[in-house]
A and B are shown apart, each in its own frame.
Chain A
Amino acid sequence: MSATPRAASTLVVVGHGMVGHRLVEELATRGLTRSHRVVVIGEEPRVAYDRVHLTELFGGKVAEDLAMTTRAELEGWGVELRLAERVVAIDREQGTVTLAATGAAQTLAWDRLVLATGSTPFVPPVPGKELPGCFVYRTIEDIDAIRAWPARTGVVVGGGLLGLEAANALRGMGVEVHVVELAPRLLAMQVDDTGGALLRAKVESLGVTVHTGTTVARIEPGEGDPSRVGRVALSSGETVNADIVVFSAGIRPRDELARAAGLELGPRGGVAVDDRCATRDPRVFAIGECASHRGATHGLVAPGYQMARVVAATLAGEDARFEGGDGSAKLKLLGVEVGSFGDAFAATPRARVVSFQDTISGVYKKLVLSPDGKRLLGGVLVGDTSSYGSLSSAVTAETPMPKAPEELILPARAGGGGGLGVDALSAAATLCSCHNVTKGTVIDAIRGKRLSVVSEIKACTRAGTGCGSCVTLLADVLKIELKKAGVAVANHLCEHFPCSRQELYHLVRLHGLRSFAEVLERHGQGGGCEICKPAVASILASAWNEHVLDKKHLPLQDTNDRYLANIQRDGTYSVVPRVPGGEITPDRLIAIGRVAKEYGLYCKITGGQRIDLLGARLEDLPAIWAALIAEGFESGHAYGKALRTVKSCVGSTWCRYGVQDSVSFAIRLEQRYRGLRSPHKLKSAVSGCARECAEAQSKDFGVIATERGYNLYLGGNGGMKPAHAQLFLTDLDEASLVRMLDRYLMFYIRTADRLQRTSTWLASLEGGIEYLRSVLVDDSLGICAELEAEMAANIEAYRCEWTETLRDPGKLRRFRPFANSDARDPSIVFVTERGQPRPARADERPMAKADPEEVTS
């Protein structure tokens, strides 16, 4: 193959962007940067950086954070890097390029030349486009200029991927944004009309104004200042005020050098290349956005990376071909998940389409199938892209479809749905399209190098280190592999404890261990982490019921348990007093209202029949709780892995159908188990009759009244994976039911994994509910008396954690935002909505949040 270079020949790479840099990496891994002289010429003033994440510069990152390499690293590889220099001409006869830096022109000889010049943003030729205040969105310098430009209203020209990203960035700066799109829908390249309409509704609900089917006719200066942008006239006749205009109306491949050098171009621009990414001149290659392969250019990074690998492989004498990429992409734009892959528009003749739409939750999914329905060709996902990885891989791997492909996109139902597990994919299926890593490669790495966590897979194979959309697939493959290998590692709590939570619980009780230090010394190693510390704290609390704020337990607690309140998105906390059974007197309602008013708290009725007071500052928590406790309230343990609420319906006291007093029984149950620390939270409910208004069958333990007593249901769950509780015993009297519950809860606490709800715990017990019956009813393990005694000790030791905390000045000292100052935390800012306070969004803060530091100053 003539492409194999002679020794010590010179390879010149034009452009040090994402793809150019990937080429250099690929060359270095193959040793080609040692055997050849490699010169990289980049026009930008810095080393290659991650353009894909450019928008993060608005979120507090700095240019250096995006760098993909350093000069030192490149030098180490033996690469000559020339930055801030531009290639202005190629002479193919002489085999040279001409460079223009600040000084005189210079020529450089090459044996092989690779063009990786990317694209330039397309700016439509509208009058006024040169006015100050008009920007493009491509380089770090562009972003810096946009951030420095003061603006209140803005227009983004183009409603594609980049346009929506730019719109979001402007929104984050507090700018009121209009998006103008020529096509009749947003993301015209990725989604179909239905998906576009759904997306539009979501984007508009965020306060962005969308104009489709129209274009910018003229950009004009404002009335006040003729030297800068002030207004944009649309071809529809509308006029929009704008102090800033960002063009993101597409890109044009930078093919000017190639054209001047007489190289062939593609039909829509770009340097024409063959499957080896070689141009008409076999010594010259083109890769990335500047290349046109089989008539198409690619504006995404994944195909560019594949081209880089093909060229490096070709130069190393390997046989590699670029087979073409597609426009598959998964993104989150303005908070909306969008995915599109393969033949999304059903361009294949006689392709079949199944789709699912839910305008309430804003979910739209479409699958394009082969005419016989046996293969997946492509699809569109809006609002929920959780299945993107497995579906898009199913396209490339040609995985056979199940009989009813619609199951793949319908919402999961009990017993059905489930989707296309990663197990169904063949070894050749690509899991990570950014780095082109197949399932086979991942499995080989897991087996060959005995990997046990996803981060190791990332490090070994690079899968998952690009856009990140394949990480859940990697985790699934890992889980399956570990299971096949019979590895028990999944049970290890973390790197500090080589045993399961269940084993640790027994060890703690057996040896009477009372502090994390003791447990670590006897059964662990290292210093502990965010996984084992709270888990051990929970075990110690279940076993001995000591106060969680005792000094020795303090470092174990995450913020919620440390401050006995749930942290909220802005760093404030919530306060949830216990309202047993959901019954509350008018006086107590008034008391809650009074306290909320005094401390400016937002009030909401929760899904658990009580009242959440949100927006409490750390330093106010003690005073708020003192006021509530004075009114007779106690902690609701909303912050702990503990009993939450026992919901009730009105029952026989009021309801004409009620057969038992469900309210009283719910209150008794809530008071019995309040404060009980457990592997995960516990929820319960008591319904007064079979109509089940308290939803007891979705609870960890649920009680439904019958004519003769109560039916007990166990292991129900709402939440992410709802599970119906299973009927355990029928027609129990109250005392027997409580005895069963004591045993059940204690057995769960003893044997469940950390953060395992009762539903998953029950599903994991071999023999399931029958086995549970044998343990709790027939006492097959002979532990029922022990379980009851442990529960009795727990109930005995109950104290309201907030009451205890308020009595102890040492504990109260910690409720200060700053250890060296009594200042209030200035980063907390509220705005009023519907008459109540809520956290200010970034764009509502006094200063546009370009630099988060400014908020504090």
Chain B
Amino acid sequence: MDVVALEDLDPDTGACVLLGATQVALVRAGDAVYAIDNHDPFSGAYVVSRGIVGDAGGVHKISSPMYKHAFDLRTGVCLDDPSVRLSTWPVRVRGGRVEVLFGAAVAPRAAA
């Protein structure tokens, strides 16, 4: 799914996009772009995109602004509590556009 232009995303920063009814955080970290769930499970608020982007031992991460839990941007796994994992979606940048392979969530939450 074609979502936004790459230049609409600030470097090393997150932004939220609405895909259908789902809030997805698009995060630019260095040369990479990631798509991760915008819902912070620790606070229940939809704010992950507003956190600080960084790295831990070379792994890109974003830390939720609410209680500062950090999430591995590749896998969605919470670095402070590995039992928690956010959904992530594959992202591709083509011709200056950011495309998200939506519907292919890697860690989908309860469907029931």
Where the two chains meet, the residues of A that have a C-beta atom closer than 8 Å to any C-beta of B are: 50, 53, 57, 59-62, 65-66, 144, 147-148, 495-496, 526-530, 532-534, 551, 554-560, 562-563, 567, 569-571, 814, 817-821, 823, 825-827, 842, 849-853, 856-857
Contacts and interface: CB of A to CB of B under 8 A. Distances in A.
B55 A827 contact: no
Nearest to B26: A819
B23 interface: yes
Interface of B: 3-4, 8-13, 15-18, 21-23, 26, 29-30, 39, 41, 43-47, 50-58, 60-61, 63, 65-66, 68, 70, 83-85, 109-110, 112
B18 A852 contact: no
A530 B51 contact: yes
- Across the A-B interface, the 8 shortest Cβ-Cβ residue pairs: A529-B54, A555-B12, A559-B65, A571-B45, A527-B55, A857-B21, A559-B50, A530-B63
Contact of A530 (B29, B47, B52): B52
Which of A50, A144, A148, A817 lies at the interface centre, i.e. has the most chain B CB atoms within 10 A of its CB? A817
B112 to A, nearest CB: 7
Contacts of A823: 18
Given A851-B109, A852-B44, A857-B21, A819 B8 contact: yes
Nearest to A534: B52
B95 to A, nearest CB: 17
A144 B43 CA distance: 23
A146 to B, nearest CB: 12
Contacts of A555: 10-13, 52-53
Nearest to A618: B50
Nearest to B54: A529
A617 to B, nearest CB: 12
A144 B112 contact: yes
A821 B20 CA distance: 11
A530 B70 contact: yes
B78 to A, nearest CB: 10
Contacts of B57: 495, 526
B45 A527 contact: no
Contacts of B16: 817-819
B55 A856 contact: no
A427 to B, nearest CB: 29
A174 to B, nearest CB: 14
Contacts of A532: 54
Contacts of A495: 56-57
B52 A558 contact: yes
Nearest to A533: B52
Given A527-B29, A827-B23, A827-B46, A557 B17 contact: no
Which of B3, B29, B66 lies at the interface centre, i.e. has the most chain A CB atoms within 10 A of its CB? B66
Contact of A852 (B39, B51, B55, B66): B39
Contacts of B46: 571, 825, 827, 856
Contacts of B4: 819-820
Contacts of B65: 558-560, 567
A821 B17 contact: yes
Given A61-B84, A530-B63, A530-B68, A571 B47 contact: yes
A554 B66 contact: no
24 contacts: A60-B41, A61-B84, A65-B84, A65-B85, A147-B112, A495-B57, A526-B57, A526-B58, A527-B54, A529-B56, A532-B54, A554-B10, A555-B53, A569-B43, A570-B44, A570-B45, A819-B8, A819-B16, A823-B18, A825-B23, A851-B112, A852-B109, A853-B21, A853-B39
A827 B46 CA distance: 7
A590 B13 CA distance: 38
Contacts of A857: 21
Given A530-B63, A853-B22, 13 more contacts: A60-B110, A65-B83, A526-B58, A527-B29, A527-B55, A533-B54, A559-B51, A814-B10, A819-B8, A819-B9, A820-B17, A851-B112, A852-B39
Contacts of A65: 83-85
A433 to B, nearest CB: 20
A852 B11 CA distance: 29
Given A66-B83, A527-B29, A857-B21, A567 B66 contact: yes
A556 B52 contact: yes
B41 to A, nearest CB: 5
Contacts of B112: 144, 147-148, 851
Contacts of B8: 819
B52 A856 contact: no
A562 B52 CA distance: 10
A560 B50 CA distance: 9
Contacts of A530: 51-52, 54, 63, 68, 70
A772 to B, nearest CB: 32
A856 B53 contact: no
A529 B61 contact: yes
A827 B45 contact: yes
B77 to A, nearest CB: 11
A559 B11 CA distance: 15
Contacts of A556: 52
B68 A50 contact: no
